[in-house]
Structure 1
């Protein structure tokens, strides 16, 4: 893995999200707890809604367009909805967010 520093955890509000732009498309950063952040595709597979504008709750995010809910651990849609979003390895070290640049580099443009 090739870890890339993408900012400080405090740049993301608790139970909120931010976006990181990559050559392959946007990645959403979702803060679910004081020291817990997940990285996943920012685009809902249903209608392309920006997940970073959705509601972060528990370890999930709800799409702002049609209320699809995704598990941020696995990317799997929950409930009756079918589909999934890509998730990416991310870690927090001394308050800094580090994302796996190798995994980000493998994603295709949206």
Structure 2
């Protein structure tokens, strides 16, 4: 696994998201009011709607289509909904947002 530099923390609005295109689908990077960073697939497990267009309150994002709530720290839908989004490790280093991704088997060493 390697860390990929995405952007400066201030490039992501508080209680908002930044989308990164990835080979297996877009990744949404969320910033909470407390400046915590979380990264999830940008697809609601219910309908595939872009979670990056949802509202972030606390550590939850609400899907813009059917109001499903997804826990940012786990990627799991809150009850009574059932479903999960792929979550990626994310961190802030020297004011920069980084996301951990697995190296491709085809990548050059």
Shared fold (TM-score, shorter chain, > 0.5): yes
Higher Rg: 2
**Correspondence list, 1:11-26, <5 A:** 11-26=11-26
**C-alpha distance in 2 between matches for 1:53 and 1:85:** 15
TM-score by length of 2: 0.90
Higher helix share goes to which structure?
Answer: 1
- Give the match's secondary structure for 1:33: coil
Query: Which structure 1 residue ranges, 4+ long, deviate > 4 Å from structure 2?
Result: none
**C-alpha distance in 1 between matches for 2:40 and 2:4:** 15
Offset of residue 34 of structure 1:
4.4
TM-score by length of 1: 0.89
Structure 1 residues not aligned, in runs of 5+: none
RMSD across aligned positions (CA): 1.6
Structure 2 residues not aligned, in runs of 5+: none
